[in-house]
Every structure is written in C-alpha cells, then in structure tokens.
Amino acid sequence: MGKPKAPSPPNPKDTSAASTGTNISTAIANSYLNNANQVGPDGTITYTDNGSQSITDPYTGKTYQIPTRTATTTLSPAQQAIKDQTDKAQLNLGTLANNQSSFLNDYMAKPFDGSNDATEARLLQLGKERLDPILAQQQDALATRLSNQGIKLGSAAYDRAMAQQGQNANDATNQLILQGHGQAFSEGQAIRNQPINEITALLSGSQVSSPQAAGYNGSTIPTTDNAGLINENYNQKMNNYNQQMAQSNSLIGGLFGLGGKLIGLSDDDAKKDKERLADITPEMGLWKFHYKGEAKDAPMRLGLMASEVEKVRPDAVSRRPDGYRQVDYGKALSLGA
C-alpha cells in the first residue's frame, strides 16, 4: 500500500444521473402499483401503455423514457344499452331543437307588440259586468243614507257626497282598465316567448355529456438533491483519506523517532513478505516485512529498503561484513542534511 492519495471529487453529473434514474424508476413502479385495473358490476376501467415521452435532464443531459398510459372505461352490456338509448334520445331532441330554431331568424326580427286589444276589451267587458252592478248598488245606498240624514237632493252636501261617489266609481273603473291591460300584455309576452321556451327546453334535454375521467393516481418524481449527494460522497472519501493519512503519519513519525538511534539491516535480499505502506518521498517508502529465516508467526517489522535509500541518500547505506546492506536511519531520514 502506497501513501494514501486525496480522493477525487465525485462527478456531479454521474451522481445526479444515478439518483434521478432511481427516482424515475421508483415513480414509474409506484404508478403501476397504484393504478390497478378495476372490474365492477357496471363496467371496467383498464390502464394500457401507449408509448413513451422523452424527457431530458437539463443538468446531466441524460434522456429518460417516461411511459404514457391510457385509462379506458368500458360499460357493462346493460349500462352500454342504456347509454346508447339515452344518446339517441338526446340526439333526437337536439335535432328537433335545431329544426325548430330555424324560424327564429324571422320571428325574432319582428318587434314585440305588447298591445292586445281583443284580450283587453274582453277583460274590460267581463270586469264591468261585475263592477257596474256593485257601483249602482253603492250609489243607491248612498242616496238612501243621505235622505235619511235629512240631506235633500240638490243641496250642496248632497252634490258633494254624490261627486265623491262618482270619483270612487271612476277610480275603480280605471283600476279595472289597468289590470286588464297588464294581463293582456303578460298574455302577449307569454305567446311571444312560447316557441323560444320550447326550443330552450329541447336543448336542455340534449346537452353533451363530458366524459368522466377515471381516478388516476399519478406518481410525483422527487427532485434529486444533487449538491447533498455529491458533498456527502466527497466527505466520506475525505474522512477515509484523513484516517489513512493519520495512520501513515503515525508510522512515519515513529520511524523518525527511532532514526537517530538505529542502524539496521535493510538489504532487500534479506527480507520477505514485503509490502509498501506509505511514501516518505516519491523514491523512498516505508515498508513492512519479515527477515528471511524468521518464523511465519513473527511480528511484522517496519523499515526502509536499502535499494531505495541509495537513490536518495547513498551516504546512509553501507555494507556489512556478510555483504548485506545496512541503513543509517539518522542520515536516511535527515533528508535535508
């Protein structure tokens, strides 16, 4: 294992694409789970795929295929027969209304005349046949009452009383005329509106029924937290890197602590089970190893390789009487000396 290297920041677009793809797949799966085909006594509702729509993520540039679906409502035979008959009846009413409405162009172009002389005259006649006997009876009763009171015919008091009675009779007649005129006007207006009301009634019974959409449970695709995913991944890698650096620095620090006191056998040929743990310099590393001849269960040793030290500090390497190289750790680790 060499000296740990700082992790490269994760590719934001790759992270975003992976998360977005998962979100889309989950949303599509939920949509299928939430929209099961329905079968009831009045008919069925079925969901079918009818292609897909391409959606391109503006951040990553990756294109996703989103399925498009159709909800189809099919009535039972009995309900379909009822609907067919109802549709025919509404079509007939609509056709009749259309035919009847053609005459409205001329009909509505004529100004409405509210006068209805024949009706008004007849109403006035009927009213007077009832009102006149009442007015005559009131006048006779007034004359008798005046006579009993000693008010003589031709006197001022008699004339005033009779004048007031005449005014009352005139008001009653005018009221009868006004009522007759108003009733005649209402009758004329009703006659005028009758064909329009008939057509309106026909149209109201032939309204187009808007199809009722089946209950579709759409799935919302959640927004990908790109920044959060990227930062979390990078922080995890940095934590691992910092731990490795702490371990490497601890090993190297301990080696430096021994450096001034140690001249040790470091010849490559005298060692086995060699594994590089960390870089001291690009050319020289910290190794763990066993000396040849040691038992397999002997503790691992830490140290330098003479072949690497010679490239950096040849003066720190010397030969032992047995021909193996040894390293003066004080010199080897005093890299600036």
Residue listed under structure tokens 């299928």:
32
Per the model's pLDDT, the better-predicted residue between 87 and 224 turns out to be 87
Per-residue pLDDT reduced to its tens digit, 261-285:
567 788 999 999 999 988 888 888 8
How buried is 16 (Cβ within 10 angstroms: 0-12 exposed, 13-18 middle, 19+ buried)? buried
| Structural tokens at position 77 | 């035979």
> Could you tell me the CA-to-CA distances from 288 to 23, 257, 277, 304, 331 in Å, in that order?
47, 17, 7, 9, 20
What pLDDT is stored for residue 214 in this prediction?
65
The pTM (predicted TM-score) of the whole model is 0.43
Statement: residue 252 has pLDDT above 70:
no
| Structural tokens at position 241 | 């890197």
Contact 285, 266 (CB under 8 A): no
Q: How far apart are CA 230 and CA 14, in angstroms?
A: 9
Q: How far apart are CA 121 and CA 126, in angstroms?
A: 9
> Which residues, in sequence order, are CB contacts of 34 under 8 Å at separation 6+?
217, 219
Helices (H), 114-225: 117-148, 156-204
Confidence of residue 318 (pLDDT cuts 50, 70, 90): very high
| Structural tokens at position 124 | 């006035």
Contact 278, 5 (CB under 8 A): no
What pLDDT is stored for residue 250 in this prediction?
59
| Structural tokens at position 125 | 């006649």
